[in-house]
Amino acid sequence: MIGLALSLRLDGSPAEASDVARLAGGLGHRPSDRRRTVVAGAAALAATEWLTLPEESTAAQPYERGSGAVVLLDGRIDNRRELSDVLGLPAGEADVAFVAAAYDRFGRDLARHLHGDFALVVWDPARRRLVAARDRLGIKALVWARHGDRLLVGSEVAQVARALAPSARRMNEGVVAELLSGWMSHPTETLVAGVERLAPARILVVEDGVLEISRYWDLEFADRTKRSQTVIDLGDRFIDIVGGAVADRVRTLDPIGVELSGGMDSATVAALAHRALRDRADLASHLRPLVMDYEPGSLAHETAHWRSVCAHLALEPLVVAGDVTDLEVFERDVLLFADVPGTPESAAWHHLGALAARHGIRVRLTGQWGDEWFRPTVAHLADSLWRGSPGRAWTDTRLWGETTTTGRLAVLARHGAASALRHGAPGLWARLRPGRRVPPHLRPAFVASTALHDRLAPLPAPAGTTPAQAELYRHLHRGGAAWSTEVTGRASAAYGLEERHPFADHRVVEFAASLPETARGAGDVERGLQRGALAALLPSSVRARTDKADFAAPAVAQIEAMGGIDALARIERAHEDWFVPGGLVEGYRAFCSGETGSAALYGAWAALHIDQVWAELVG
């Protein structure tokens, strides 16, 4: 894992090490094994290295290849075996050497030949060409900005923003509006106007002074799994594909942490990591479950489930209390990253990161993204209606826990007919439900000036997709998915932890996109495919779970610790041009009483931090 920095003089004049010093210094909060700067022609490149792969010690970054190219790689290349044959490299070479050789072979098109989680930069001084790329799902962050005659590239938004002159830092009110609505949507914009994220699956090329960005991968639905395949066949493929993604992510010399809640996804990753490492004599000390334990009576209490998994796998967990509030960890987060810090219920997550680091853990596996691919979406019932199977849709209303005819009819109308209408007639739906995601606590003038209706509008799905496939596609491409991964990733990096997400492997996503919808839910059984596939790997009590933890209470407790309604009221008064009087407070109260969804909570959370965030950026 590295934090990367590059400064390129667009006029072609020779660079100096001082060009990148401020940008590299913006990663001073990360622990490091090596820090190094290389100057080559018009570019200065720097790396803050924290070694998380066995081969990394053999190739310091920035990596200089004999051909003259200089390479930075934050991440991991998973198809090393195939590339070894194609590129003529020994299989034991460092991942960055595979990237350098891939550039020599494929040029600016190298990213489409690489599998894994990566943000990479290749500077070719002979051709005066810069190539930067980000992995298919955007797990590794890559941020860039033009600043005068320079192009700056880095790993974190605040790192790049703080390298700009203070007079060049302007607030992006469109992103502010998204944060205050509780729906991060734009895939590339940041809180600082002109500082951009490179979107997932994109390549940025600068050559002859011209900057171009292109896409090298997208999710396709044409190759669907045939319905004639049995559940057993699909279960075997689940283990092969998800298990393969986990196996790719346990490559490290140091102990590995695996987040474990007791839910299906974290338990799946823990079991498959145990399977991938089963031949290690030191397995019990090498693989450590990382647990946030909540008090009995809490809706987030899952103690019996995570203990069952640990006992089944004979693993010893590291545990912190989940029911905690902590003002200091979030103040530190804003100070370091000048951004809204994660979610209000994540204080314990910071404590767990610090505990893992104290035990020498440098890699943390998570179960994030599993819900999105293998649990029924809100369009699950609409999918059956779309395919002409109203009987199947009626049967599957039980997935929402309804048993009465009235309740099941309400679910069918809300999640079936409404979703089908939105998918089949989006124009009519927009007229019937204008501004559905725009919250009432924002002033109409602010909504209009930031084009918030357009920002929050659902992405158009590819032609020929069903409603459920369209939902999967939108989740993959909405800005909030990559943003939330970036937020947790940068916070983990500050503790010396690299996050790895097996469910965020493009092969897993392509498999999920090919599944019949019945594999995600049928009758009153969610995740039938996943539950069946793990029969030999997980305790039956975990596979039989039908409930999910609810983290609303610890989230509200954290907001209350920050002043609750009084603090929100002060923010409303300070930003009368943003908020309808009393609207922010009422939205928060509605969430607390269960009358509205989590967007109101996250909008309030963003409001509590936005002034401090901006003070850090301009200060």
If asked whether residues 119 and 164 sit together in one domain, one would say: yes
User: Which region holds residue 208: left if phi is over 0, alpha if psi is between -120 and 50, else beta?
Assistant: left
If asked whether residues 208 and 320 sit together in one domain, one would say: no
Taking only the tens place, the pLDDT of each residue in 519-528 is 999 888 889 9
pLDDT beyond 60 at 65: yes
Helices 598-618, 564-574: crossing angle, 10 deg rounding: 60
Domain assignment of residue 556, yes or no: no
Domain assignment of residue 447, yes or no: no
pLDDT beyond 60 at 594: yes
Q: What is the CATH number of the domain that holds 275?
A: 3.40.50.620
Select from 525, 543, 561 the last residue of a domain: 543
Q: In 80-175, where do the E strands start and end?
A: 116-124, 129-134, 143-147, 150-154
Q: Which whole number is the average pLDDT over 330-335? A: 93
pLDDT beyond 90 at 415: no
If asked whether residues 17 and 53 sit together in one domain, one would say: yes
**HEC-encoded secondary structure of 361-416:** CCEEECCCCHHHHHCCCCCHHHHHHHCCCHHHHHHHHHHHCCCCHHHHHHHHHHHH
| Cα Rg of the chain (Å, integer) | 24
Domain assignment of residue 433, yes or no: no
Within its chain, how far is the Cα of 93 from the centroid? 28
Taking only the tens place, the pLDDT of each residue in 245-304 is 999 999 998 899 999 999 999 999 999 999 999 999 999 899 999 999 999 888 888 999
Residue located via tokens 């200060």: 619
Taking only the tens place, the pLDDT of each residue in 465-503 is 899 999 899 889 988 888 889 999 999 999 999 999 999
Within its chain, how far is the Cα of 438 from the centroid? 23
State the pLDDT confidence band at 104, using cuts at 50, 70 and 90.
very high
If asked whether residues 281 and 368 sit together in one domain, one would say: yes
Taking only the tens place, the pLDDT of each residue in 8-36 is 999 999 999 999 999 999 999 999 999 99
Q: Lowest mean pLDDT of 93-107, 131-145, 335-349, name the range.
A: 335-349
Q: Which whole number is the average pLDDT over 91-117? A: 96
Angle (CA) 95-216-103 rounded to 5° is 40
pLDDT beyond 80 at 140: yes
Q: What's the pLDDT at 225?
A: 43
Q: What's the pLDDT at 451?
A: 95
Q: Lowest mean pLDDT of 118-122, 235-239, 240-244, 614-618, name the range.
A: 614-618
Q: Are 156 and 143 in contact (CB under 8 A)?
A: yes
Domain of residue 504 covers 241-373+479-543
If asked whether residues 269 and 141 sit together in one domain, one would say: no
| Residue type at position 45 | L
| Residue type at position 173 | E
If asked whether residues 34 and 85 sit together in one domain, one would say: yes
If asked whether residues 251 and 319 sit together in one domain, one would say: yes
Domain assignment of residue 520, yes or no: yes
If asked whether residues 204 and 353 sit together in one domain, one would say: no
Q: Lowest mean pLDDT of 119-128, 201-210, 359-368, 435-444, name the range.
A: 435-444
Tokens of 25: 């210094």
Q: Which residues contact 327 (CB under 8 A, 6 or more apart)?
A: 561, 562
**Alpha carbon of 68 to those of 10, 64, 86, 382: distances in Å?**
19, 7, 21, 55
Counting residues of the chain whose pLDDT is more than 70, the rounded percentage is: 97
If asked whether residues 67 and 125 sit together in one domain, one would say: yes
Domain assignment of residue 440, yes or no: no
Q: What's the pLDDT at 154?
A: 98
State the pLDDT confidence band at 435, using cuts at 50, 70 and 90.
low
How far is Cα 524 from Cα 138, in angstroms, rounded to an integer? 34
How far is Cα 71 from Cα 159, in angstroms, rounded to an integer? 20
If asked whether residues 98 and 149 sit together in one domain, one would say: yes
Q: Which residues contact 18 (CB under 8 A, 6 or more apart)?
A: 44
HSE toward the beta carbon, residue 279, CA cutoff 13 A: 2
Domain assignment of residue 439, yes or no: no
Bridge partners for 331 per DSSP? none
Domain assignment of residue 6, yes or no: yes
Q: What's the pLDDT at 269?
A: 98
Q: What's the pLDDT at 490?
A: 94
Select from 162, 181, 215 the last residue of a domain: 215
Number of domains in the chain: 2
pLDDT beyond 60 at 535: yes
pLDDT beyond 70 at 132: yes
Domain assignment of residue 558, yes or no: no
Q: Which whole number is the average pLDDT over 44-63? A: 95
How far is Cα 247 from Cα 279, in angstroms, rounded to an integer? 13
Mean of per-residue pLDDT scores for the chain: 92
If asked whether residues 303 and 174 sit together in one domain, one would say: no
Higher pLDDT, 223 or 566: 566
pLDDT beyond 50 at 350: yes
Q: Which whole number is the average pLDDT over 95-119? A: 97
Q: Cis peptide before 62, with omega less than 30 degrees from 0?
A: yes
How far is Cα 398 from Cα 378, in angstroms, rounded to an integer? 13
Q: Which residues contact 177 (CB under 8 A, 6 or more apart)?
A: 442, 446, 447, 450, 452, 455
Taking only the tens place, the pLDDT of each residue in 161-190 is 999 999 999 999 999 999 999 988 899 999
Q: What is the CATH number of the domain that holds 34?
A: 3.60.20.10
Within its chain, how far is the Cα of 460 from the centroid? 21
Q: What's the pLDDT at 564?
A: 96
pLDDT beyond 90 at 596: no
Within its chain, how far is the Cα of 261 from the centroid? 18
**Alpha carbon of 480 to those of 102, 184, 188, 208: distances in Å?**
31, 5, 10, 34
**HEC-encoded secondary structure of 298-339:** CCCCCHHHHHHHHHHHCCCCEEEECCCCCHHHHHHHHHHHCC
Taking only the tens place, the pLDDT of each residue in 308-325 is 999 999 999 999 999 889
CB neighbours (10 Å) of residue 90?
7
If asked whether residues 193 and 292 sit together in one domain, one would say: no
